[in-house]
Amino acid sequence: MAASSPLSMLPSPMAAVVGLQFCTSHTMELTVTKKFSFSGGYFIISDANGSVLMKVHGRAFSLSHVLCDAAGTPIISMRDKRFSMHQRWNVYRGDSNHQRDMLFTVKKTDMFQLNTELGVFLAGNTAEQHCDFKIKESWSGRSCTFYLGDSNTIIAQMSHQFDIRDALLRRDTYHVTVYPNVDYAFIVAVIVIIDELHRSRNRNSSS
């Protein structure tokens, strides 16, 4: 098997899951910061210069999150299919939950896996025999790699950073590298879902 290698250039249409406006011709370095509050956690997505690009709003006891642009306009919504066997999340355009607006589904590829491996299936891939993208976590769960389909081509990477300031400020910080012509809104949405899967797993292990 060929060794995994970062993507050098991917034609935009292949990776514009949410929209072409979220694909750039250069590598994007993003910081995804999750802040906690009594009304529910929320995420802030910043570029390498610290400029806020997007925000994700979640509600306490809610099964959904909405990714908005910096002005607060909804881009996509992520909805947890709580009682599905593979911990499925459906992602829709805007703040919709209608089937006609569904963009993709994220689910665990194996119910009984020890390390999380997720498959992403675009809305047109109804058979779900082969994933359009896959995500593999490290054994520690502190980093993950995004791949194109079932190949070894890396399209993005994420690492979870934690220090004492994060604990004091009640936040989590993720550093994300998105390779050229890959939809960074799509990558951010999957990171939010991964964070929620971790939170659900931690709740279950402590109960």
Q: Report whether pLDDT(54) > 90.
A: yes
202 lies in which domain range? 27-106+158-206
What pTM was estimated for this model as a whole?
0.85
Residue 198 has pLDDT above 60, yes or no: yes
Q: Is 97 part of any domain? A: yes
Match 């589904």 to its residue by tokens.
105
Contact 72, 66 (CB under 8 A): no
Domain count, the chain: 1
Of 9-23, 41-55, 70-84, 180-194, minimum mean pLDDT range: 9-23
| In a domain? residue 18 | no
Residue identified by tokens 């009984």 is 112
**What whole-number distance in Å separates Cα of residue 190 and Cα of residue 188?**
5
Please determine, for residue 191, whether its predicted confidence score (pLDDT) is greater than 70.
Answer: yes
pLDDT at 66 exceeding the cut of 70: yes
Q: What is the pLDDT of residues 7-16, one digit of tens each?
A: 555 554 456 8
57: domain CATH number? 2.40.160.200
**Residue 76 located in a structural domain:** yes
On whether the CB atoms of residues 26 and 9 are closer than 8 A, the answer is no
User: Does residue 43 lie within any of the structural domains?
Assistant: yes
Dihedral of the alpha carbons of 126, 131, 137, 138, in degrees to the nearest 10: 160
* Domain-located, residue 130: no
% of the chain surpassing 70 pLDDT: 73
The pLDDT assigned to 59 comes to: 58
The answer to whether residue 175 sits within a structural domain is yes
pLDDT per residue over 110-167, tens digit each?
665 555 789 999 999 999 989 999 999 876 667 899 999 989 999 999 998 776 665 5
Is 163 inside any structural domain? Answer: yes
Distance CA 7, CA 108 (A): 24
Could you tell me if residue 71 is inside a domain? yes
At 133 the pLDDT is 95
Give 29-45 pLDDT, tens digit per residue: 999 998 876 555 689 99
Model pLDDT, residue 167: 56
